Amino acid sequence: MRLHLLMNFGTVTAKSEGETTITVKTGNSKIAECRVIVKKENDFYITSELYEIDNISKFIKFVPIDTTYSEFRDNIIANVEFDIVDKNGKQIDSGVIKTGYKLVSRENGEDYLISVMFDANGDGIFNLVDITRMRLHYVENPKYLLDEIHATSLDVNKDGVFNLVDCAKMVQTYLLM
């Protein structure tokens, strides 16, 4: 594929997808080569000021418990139209957001899994069940190990890891409810 490039004082602007090698020759005959690969930008792009968007895992993290469907939509900026679906793929248009819900692009079906803080079992509420699931996950009970998206909901201090600090915060929050 032919690659069109515009060079302007060190800035290279790609005009199409493809790859090429740029060779630069200096006045004293030094040669430098640079291989450039241009890929089309992901055509599904979302961002949020409130939630963390993990574009590698395709997770939307740290959604507060009790976030409603409309609040959630209001806090997502996307470049395409999207739907929210439950874990069975059923479209959602009301109620609270639950761990395991997905945001799905209407353009290409690409999706992001949603993790709601404190909601370890994916029912959208925080209660003793979540505390129990947290404890079983913490002691690594093989029967009750949570998958990645549900385990992410246990990181309630939002530092990227699940440990005793999160356990303490969950229990404390539960006791204060």
Binding site for Ca ion (CB under 5 A): 119, 121, 123, 125, 130, 155, 157, 159, 161, 166
Long-range contacts, 156-161 (Cβ 8 Å, 24+): 156/117, 156/118, 158/52, 158/61, 158/62, 158/117
- 105 versus 152: smaller Cβ distance to Ca ion: 152
The CA distance from 163 to 59, in Å, is 20
Q: How far is the CB of 37 from Ca ion (least distance, A)?
A: 37
- 115 versus 121: smaller Cβ distance to Ca ion: 121
> Do 7 and 36 touch, CB atoms closer than 8 A?
no
CA 168 to chain centre: 25
- 161 versus 177: smaller Cβ distance to Ca ion: 161
> Do 103 and 114 touch, CB atoms closer than 8 A?
yes
The CA distance from 138 to 163, in Å, is 8
Q: How far is the CB of 97 from Ca ion (least distance, A)?
A: 12
Q: How far is the CB of 130 from Ca ion (least distance, A)?
A: 4
Q: How far is the CB of 152 from Ca ion (least distance, A)?
A: 10
- 71 versus 110: smaller Cβ distance to Ca ion: 71
> Do 130 and 119 touch, CB atoms closer than 8 A?
yes
